[in-house]
Every structure is written in structure tokens, then in C-alpha cells.
Structure 1
Amino acid sequence: MKIERLFSAALLLMVCGLLYLAWGYTAPIAYDPLGPRPYPILILSLLGLCCLFLLVRPRGEPIVLGYTPAIVKKIALCIACMVAYAFLFEVLGFPLSTALMAFCIGKLFGGRTLHCLISGVVMGVLLFILFDTLLDVPLPLLGIFG
């Protein structure tokens, strides 16, 4: 059995469990006639259909992704940056943690240090202004520094 079939079977089981949880999801306040349930059900259903296709597709040419050790290393570092961002989000505040994450991801994609630094700072500040003022999403500004 190929690795993509094993992965798609495990993911399909996880999707079924999440669909079961999403089916009973209701919001305490009815702000929308449909409620919040259709979006996760739609996304999970599409993911489940794709997993089912990968699981039962006929044997043919193997899927060659062309992963080299360097690409796998960059993917692992990218995932580590995103996990660190999730943990540092409240500790350092949104602008600083977003700037650090954007800098690290920019360096992973081969950007110059100064360009990554400038774009990370600009992205952190502008996204904070966008979310905080225009979209009214409360975000931590300074974290432990405030």
C-alpha cells in the first residue's frame, strides 16, 4: 500500500470525526439564518471527498512529488516557524510575532535580509492596523512588553 493511500485513509478517519463534531455545532446567538455550521461542513466534506479519491483511485503512475532533502528541510523549518508564531502570538504581541514570522519565511524563500526585515515590519504593522481598526478584531499589541 502506498504512503498516500495510508495518509488519505488516516485523514479520512479524522475528517469523519470532525464532521461528526461540526454537525452538532450551534451558536448561542443566531446572527445568521444558516448559522456557523455550513462552512466547516462544506470544507470538511470537500476534504473527505479528496481523501476518498486518493484512497480508491486506480493504480497508475505513482505520484512523484520530487522532494529532495533540501526541500523537506525547508518545509520542516516553515512548519516550525508557523508553530513558533502560534506560541509567540500572545507573548510578543501581533505586530512583532508577525514581523518575525514574515522575516523567517522570507529568508526560507531566499529573500535578502534587509528586504525580509523591511517587509516583515511593514506586514506586521499594516496587518495590525487592518485587523484592529478596520475589521475590529482585537489583537494583542505588545504582549509581555505592554
Structure 2
Amino acid sequence: MSYAADRVLSLLLLGLAAFIAVQAHQLDVPFSYDPVGPKAFPMLLAGILAFLSVILFFRPGPGQSWPTGALLLRLVSVLVLLGLYAWFFTSAGYLITTAVTVAVLAWLFEAGTVKALITGPLMSIGSYLLFTYALGITLPWGDWLTSVA
């Protein structure tokens, strides 16, 4: 059994945790509504990610073979899709990018075309309402809508 895959992943995740911590440390907000400030949550998440990465490095799971064929294509598709989601998030807006992303993810994981097309918009609208009204978080409408107004 080879533990190389888990150890490589743990090192990549440790690097990601360091990147998140550096970016969070550079956050500078002139005023804050709470005494903790905006740095606390990303720093906490970076710390948790770093801790779990170290655990994964020293206690990897049983070695598995790397994915091939259709599974590898599906995993790469998910990575590309999430990258596109981040790229278009501000310009296309939360509702559209989330609806399309959720629909494609559902379809990739074999939910069926009709279920995917229903799930995408419902999840997008539901999560938008949750973030906006329950949590008070402002989400982007999209540059294409704000430039018209």
C-alpha cells in the first residue's frame, strides 16, 4: 500500500492553509462591527485546515489507486467547474452562477437532467434568501445588471 497520495494532498492542503492565513492577515478594515474583526474566521479555518493536514500527513489512510477513466474525468470536471464559478461569481452574479454550478454538479453526479435543472435554481434562490435575509450577507447581483441601472 502506498500512502504517497495522502501525503502529497496533506502538503498541498498545508500550503493552502498558509495561503489563507497570509491573505486573512492582510485584511485591513477601517472599522468593524464586532470586537474580533474580519480576520478571525478565515484564520480559524486556516488553523483547522493546517491541523487536519498535519494529521493526514502522519496518519494517512490505506493506499488507494489513483482514479482513472470516467471518475478522473468527473473529478477534473468538478475542479474546472468550481474554478469557473469563482471566475464568474462577481460578473454574472450569485444567482446565475450558483444555479448553473449546482445544476451541472447534480448532473455530473448522476441526478438526471430534469432533477439537475430543478435543483440548480431552487438551491440558488434558497441559499440567496438564507444569506441575504437570515445572515445579512450581501451577494453580488452581477456586473451585467448593475451596469444597466
TM-score, length-scaled by structure 2: 0.70
**Structure-2 separation of matches of 1:83 and 1:15:** 18
Moved over 6 A (4+): none
Tell me the amino acid that sits aligned with residue 139 of structure 1. L
- Counterpart of 1:28 in structure 2 is 30
**1:53-132 superposed matches below 5 A:** 53-57=55-59, 62-64=62-64, 67-132=67-132
Partners of 1:73 and 1:45 lie apart in 2 by 32
Name the counterpart of 1:4: 6
- 1:35 and 1:95, CA in 2 relative to 1: closer, same or farther beyond 3 A? closer
- Change in CA separation of 1:133 and 1:49 when aligned onto 2, cut-off 3 Å: closer
Please tell me whether the aligned partners of residues 27 and 38 of structure 2 are also in contact (alpha carbons under 8 angstroms).
yes
For 2:31 and 2:4, locate their aligned partners in 1 and report how far apart those are by CA, in whole Å.
46
Q: Relative to 1, partners in 2 of residues 1:126 and 1:54: Cα closer, same or farther, differing over 3 Å?
A: closer
Report the secondary structure of 2:111's partner residue: coil
Q: % of aligned pairs identical?
A: 26
RMSD: 3.2
Q: Which structure would you say has the larger Rg?
A: 1
Aligned partners of 1:10, 1:142: CA distance in 2, in Å?
32
Q: Structure 1: 5+ residue runs without aligned partners?
A: none
Q: Distance in 2 between matches of 1:94 and 1:56?
A: 39
Q: Which amino acid aligns with 1:47?
A: L
Q: For residues 36-59 of structure 1, what are the alpha-carbon distances to aligned partners after superposition, in whole Å with 9 as ceiling and x for unaligned?
A: 3443333222322333334345xx
Q: Which residue of 2 aligns with 1:41?
A: 43
* Pair 134,78 (structure 1): closer, same or farther in 2 beyond 3 Å: same
Q: Is the 8 A contact 2:17 2:49 kept in 1?
A: yes
In structure 2, relative to structure 1, the CA distance for the partners of 1:7 and 1:102 (3 Å cut) is: closer
Q: What code does the residue aligned with 1:121 have?
A: P
Q: Provide the aligned length of Structure 1 versus Structure 2.
A: 144
